[in-house]
């Protein structure tokens, strides 16, 4: 077989198994969603919905962090930007006149349909990510991480300070609640395919190579900065989608959820599952979401009949921290390491 | 003129605090490449020790201060043994994430076993009284803090230059493997680094407590975030860089308070972090870059 053909076949097989893997993951996620819709109660729906929003965040995080191997701490900020941008566009004028009477640039004088609003939010987030990304992709390691950290702090201060646009610590209300579990299932499936296909694409493979050996990849002609930028912007777009899903379901947003607590929660999910794979992102999110629900139940001090546990505030935080430390000590690559879901079923397990 | 001197003194005392904490981060990083985000929780450990001693009616300020610093050192060394030893030779990202985890555990332990609400500790307020120097009013605390920082840095430099262990630590920051081949125990060097780092956090804790007068589980987070930034700007792993970064950050912060109009007060952090980010874009490895040739730490 000639060499180009071999290369082409190789690429195709990677992408084919990527499609299989994405389909498997989607099937599992849709199954969970359907089970909850059929058998769950109302509050189950809310819990599962927020778990799926977090899954979208973790996937957005994985696209950049997993492929470029640079710890990102600003993802919740991009989620916030997406959520606020969509919220500002979609909220009815009457409500905005009440909640944002002093908004500049006529932000309270128009109203768009949800789809256009979402599209604008995605474009705005993508553009901001592009500008910031131009600075971030040139750094690597701890330097890049600290700039993402700075970004998180900056965005959060702007949310808090510009109360005339974002309402700061108060709730931004009146967003039409148009999403339900079905909508987010569809979005999740799309994002799973996007993330997985990006990982197996030419860009994804080169980016992963550059994260293992930056100098080596450069020597082979990989434009590391450009690829990082692509992954960064794609990640930000996915994060914006997560923010939009969050806003369209709750109808009310505030700046607080887009800060450190959420950053660490989603980071823990990605780390536990294994940041190098999409399967890891999904697995980590599922494990931690379910696990935390259990821990929270203990936290409220349930009555076991014989033993009445006291309220244990902070237990979920401890559990999350222990999960991170234990994962790092025992399995730094996360549970999945470098394996995607379909490899678990194939005979060749490497 | 008075105003300028006044603000310069403010910048100096802010900077001193950041420099103390940044040094603690840098000394650990230079040896084992670990970004110890749990460093701030040593401040909280010190703070809660003060609460415990005051509650036990051992309100003598000297005992309280000594106990707080001692506990910060012990906690730091314990953490190294329990949490950071398994990831000693891992890459910086693994260490950073471990430290995040450790920090979450400690903060939530305080939340769970003590209280999520702030607890007042007024024992150290006596350190803080206003001094008037010909039109310039400063707080005694600022003087103590700046002087303590200078003394601490001097002692640290003496320790690093004159003692065998200090020499080993400096050598370890260049080539750890070689140091071990020379017959120095890795565990001792690393434990010493954590002890020094805990000591610096303990000292910073005393001043932070004297200023804010209360403890809460997340009190160490903001100071260490700033120290982290100072470290990176100065050049991560470089001890002079950490000091420089700390004082630079103090200057930027006070400068922002002076320049920004009152209504933008809430945006101070945004501008400070923005400037820091730009410095990093200008010099990705920080201003005083540590020696590029670091031996394999395996």
Which of B95, B108, B116 best probes binding to A when mutated, by most A CB atoms within 10 angstroms? Answer: B108
CA distance A350 to B11: 56
CA distance B281 to B258: 25
With respect to residue B184, please indicate whether it lies within any of the assigned structural domains: yes
Extract the tokens encoding A97: 């006149």
With respect to residue B276, please indicate whether it lies within any of the assigned structural domains: yes
Confidence at B139, pLDDT banded by 50, 70, 90: confident
Helix (H, G, I), strand (E, B) or coil at A40: coil
Least confident of A109-118, A283-292, B17-26: A109-118
CA distance A91 to B123: 52
Least confident of A47-51, A229-233, A280-284, B93-97: B93-97
Extract the tokens encoding A121: 């939010």
Contact A142 B109 (CB under 8 A): no
Residue A105's CB: how many other CB atoms inside 10 A?
Answer: 7
With respect to residue B292, please indicate whether it lies within any of the assigned structural domains: no
For residue B74, pLDDT over 90 is answered with yes
Region label for A19, one of left (φ > 0), alpha (ψ between -120 and 50) or beta (otherwise): alpha
Q: What is the pLDDT of residue A57?
A: 92
- Angle CA(A153)–CA(B223)–CA(B273) in degrees, nearest 5? 30
Confidence at B67, pLDDT banded by 50, 70, 90: confident
Is B97 exposed, middle or buried (CB count within 10 Å of its CB: 0-12, 13-18, 19+)? buried
Closest by CA position to B3, among listed B134, B130, B136:
B136
Extract the tokens encoding B277: 């980010």
Task: Give chain B as a DSSP string.
Answer: -HHHHHHHHHHHHHHHHHHHHHHHHHHHHHHH----TTHHHHHHHHHHHHHHHHHTT---HHHHHHHHHHHHHHHHHHHIIIIISTTTTS-HHHHHHHHHHHHHHHHHHHHHHT-SS-EE--GGGGG--EEEETTEEEEHHHHHHHHHHHHHHHHHHHHHHHSHHHHHHHHHHH-HHHHHHTT--HHHHHHHHHHHHHHHHHHHHHHHHHHH-EE-TTTTHHHHHHHHHHHHHH-TT-HHHHHHHHHHHHHHHHHHHHHS-GGGGGGHHHHHHHHHHHHHHHSTT-SSPPPS-PPP--
pLDDT, tens digit, 9 for 90 and up, residues B77-125: 998 888 888 887 777 777 888 888 888 888 888 888 887 788 887 777 7
CA distance A74 to A133: 11
Beta bridge partners of A123: none
With respect to residue A269, please indicate whether it lies within any of the assigned structural domains: no
**Residues of chain A found within 8 Å of residue B217, distances taken between Cβ atoms:** 314
Residue B284's CB: how many other CB atoms inside 10 A?
Answer: 16
With respect to residue A272, please indicate whether it lies within any of the assigned structural domains: no
Contact A322 B105 (CB under 8 A): yes
User: Dmax over Cα atoms in chain A, in whole Å?
Assistant: 73
Q: Please tell me which residue of chain B has the smallest CA distance to A312.
A: B112
Do B146 and B16 touch, CB atoms closer than 8 A? yes
Q: What are the residues whose beta carbons fall under 8 Å from the beta carbon of A268, sequence distance 6 or more?
A: A284, A288, A320, A323, A324, B101
pLDDT, tens digit, 9 for 90 and up, residues A27-58: 888 888 888 888 877 788 888 888 889 999 99
Q: Please tell me which residue of chain A has the smallest CA distance to B108.
A: A314
For residue A281, pLDDT over 80 is answered with yes
Contact B98 A153 (CB under 8 A): no
Find the domain containing A167 and state its range: 3-259
pLDDT, tens digit, 9 for 90 and up, residues A3-27: 554 455 555 677 777 787 888 888 8
Find the domain containing B31 and state its range: 2-125+138-282
Contact B107 A317 (CB under 8 A): yes
Extract the tokens encoding B200: 């610096």
Query: How many Å lie between the alpha carbon of A135 and the closest alpha carbon of chain B?
Result: 6
Residues in chain A: 350
CATH number of the domain residue A9 falls in: 1.10.3470
**ipTM of this model?**
0.77
> Is B101 or A169 the better-scoring residue by pLDDT?
B101
Contact B97 A271 (CB under 8 A): yes
Q: What are the residues whose beta carbons fall under 8 Å from the beta carbon of B270, sequence distance 6 or more?
A: A153, A154, A157, A158, A161
CATH number of the domain residue B201 falls in: 1.10.3470
Confidence at A237, pLDDT banded by 50, 70, 90: very high
Extract the tokens encoding B110: 């305080």
Q: What is the pLDDT of residue A7?
A: 53
Give me the residue from A150, A264, A330 closest to B100, CB to CB. A264
Contact A161 B266 (CB under 8 A): yes
- Domains: count for chain A: 1
Extract the tokens encoding B192: 């010493």
Give me the residue from B112, B229, B270 closest to A157, CB to CB. B270
- Angle CA(A62)–CA(B227)–CA(A324) in degrees, nearest 5? 35
Helix axes A224-250, A202-212, angle to 10 degrees: 110
Helix (H, G, I), strand (E, B) or coil at A347: coil
CA distance B154 to A58: 46
Do A198 and A277 touch, CB atoms closer than 8 A? no
Q: What is the pLDDT of residue A307?
A: 57
CA distance A186 to A4: 37
With respect to residue B233, please indicate whether it lies within any of the assigned structural domains: yes
Q: What is the pLDDT of residue A238?
A: 92
With respect to residue B205, please indicate whether it lies within any of the assigned structural domains: yes
With respect to residue A196, please indicate whether it lies within any of the assigned structural domains: yes
With respect to residue A341, please indicate whether it lies within any of the assigned structural domains: no
- Domains: count for chain B: 1
Distances, alpha carbon B241 to alpha carbons A45, A109, A163, in Å: 52, 51, 38
Query: How many Å lie between the alpha carbon of B283 and the closest alpha carbon of chain A?
Result: 9
With respect to residue B121, please indicate whether it lies within any of the assigned structural domains: yes
Distances, alpha carbon B259 to alpha carbons B7, B163, B251, B256, B263, in Å: 11, 45, 12, 5, 12
Residues in chain B: 298
For residue B221, pLDDT over 70 is answered with yes
The pTM of the full predicted model, rounded to 2 decimals, is: 0.81
Contact B100 A267 (CB under 8 A): yes
Confidence at B195, pLDDT banded by 50, 70, 90: very high
With respect to residue B131, please indicate whether it lies within any of the assigned structural domains: no
Contact B105 A325 (CB under 8 A): yes
Question: For chain A, which residues lie within 8 Å of any Cβ of chain B, measuring from their own Cβ?
Answer: 69, 71, 135, 138-143, 145-147, 149-151, 153-154, 157-158, 160-161, 260, 264, 267-268, 271, 312-318, 320-325, 328-330, 332
């Amino acid at each position: 077989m000639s060499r180009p053909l071999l290369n082409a076949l190789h690429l195709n097989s990677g992408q084919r198994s990527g499609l299989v893997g994405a389909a498997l993951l989607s099937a599992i996620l849709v199954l969970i969603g359907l089970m909850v819709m059929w058998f769950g109660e109302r509050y189950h729906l809310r819990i599962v919905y927020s778990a799926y929003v977090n899954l979208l965040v973790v996937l957005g995080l994985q696209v950049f962090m997993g492929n470029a191997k640079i710890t990102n701490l600003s993802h919740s900020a991009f989620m916030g930007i997406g959520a606020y941008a969509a919220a500002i566009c979609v909220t009815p004028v009457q409500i905005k006149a009440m909640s944002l009477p002093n908004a500049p640039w006529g932000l309270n004088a128009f109203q768009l349909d949800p789809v256009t609003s979402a599209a604008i939010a995605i474009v705005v987030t993508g553009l901001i990510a592009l500008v910031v990304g131009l600075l971030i992709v040139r750094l690597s390691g701890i330097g890049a991480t600290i700039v993402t950290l700075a970004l998180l702090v900056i965005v959060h201060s702007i949310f808090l300070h510009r109360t005339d646009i974002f309402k700061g610590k108060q709730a931004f209300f009146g967003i039409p609640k148009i999403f339900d579990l079905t909508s987010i299932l569809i979005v999740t499936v799309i994002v799973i395919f996007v993330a997985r296909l990006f990982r197996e694409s030419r860009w994804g493979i080169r980016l992963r190579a550059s994260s293992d050996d930056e100098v080596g990849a450069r020597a082979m002609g990989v434009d590391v900065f450009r690829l990082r930028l692509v992954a960064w912007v794609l990640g930000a777009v996915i994060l914006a989608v997560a923010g939009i899903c969050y806003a369209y379901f709750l109808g009310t947003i505030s700046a607080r959820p887009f800060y450190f607590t959420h950053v660490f929660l989603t980071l823990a999910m990605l780390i536990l599952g294994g940041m190098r794979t999409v399967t890891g992102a999904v697995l980590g999110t599922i494990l931690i979401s379910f696990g935390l629900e259990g821990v929270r139940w203990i936290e409220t001090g349930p009555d076991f009949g014989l033993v009445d546990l006291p309220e244990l505030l902070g237990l979920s935080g401890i559990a999350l921290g222990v999960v991170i430390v234990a994962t790092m000590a025992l399995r730094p690559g996360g549970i999945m390491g470098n394996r995607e879901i379909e490899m678990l079923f194939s005979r060749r397990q490497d | 003129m008075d105003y300028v001197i006044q603000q310069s003194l403010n910048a100096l005392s802010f900077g001193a605090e950041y420099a103390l904490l940044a040094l603690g981060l840098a000394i650990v990083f230079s040896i084992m490449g670990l970004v110890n985000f749990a460093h701030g929780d040593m401040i909280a450990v010190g703070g809660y020790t003060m609460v415990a001693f005051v509650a036990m009616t051992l309100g003598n300020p000297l005992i309280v201060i000594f106990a707080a610093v001692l506990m910060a050192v012990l906690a730091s060394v314990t953490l190294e043994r329990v949490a950071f030893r398994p990831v000693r030779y891992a890459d910086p990202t693994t260490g950073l994430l471990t430290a995040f985890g450790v920090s979450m555990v400690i903060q939530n332990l305080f939340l769970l076993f003590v209280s999520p609400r702030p607890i007042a500790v007024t024992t150290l307020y006596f350190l803080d009284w206003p001094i008037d120097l010909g039109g310039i009013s400063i707080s005694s605390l600022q003087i103590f803090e700046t002087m303590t920082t200078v003394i601490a840095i001097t002692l640290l430099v003496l320790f690093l230059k004159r003692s065998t262990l200090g020499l080993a630590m400096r050598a370890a920051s260049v080539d750890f493997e070689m140091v071990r081949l020379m017959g120095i125990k890795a565990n001792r060097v690393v434990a010493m680094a954590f002890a020094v780092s805990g000591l610096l956090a303990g000292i910073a804790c005393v001043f932070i407590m004297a200023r804010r007068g209360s403890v809460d589980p997340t009190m160490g987070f903001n100071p260490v975030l700033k120290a982290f930034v100072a470290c990176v700007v100065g050049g991560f792993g470089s001890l002079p860089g950490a000091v420089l970064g700390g004082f630079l950050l103090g200057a930027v912060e006070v400068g922002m308070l002076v320049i920004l109009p009152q209504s933008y007060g809430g945006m101070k952090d945004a501008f400070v972090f923005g400037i820091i980010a730009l410095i990093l874009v200008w010099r990705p490895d920080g201003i005083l870059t540590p020696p590029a040739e670091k031996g394999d730490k395996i």
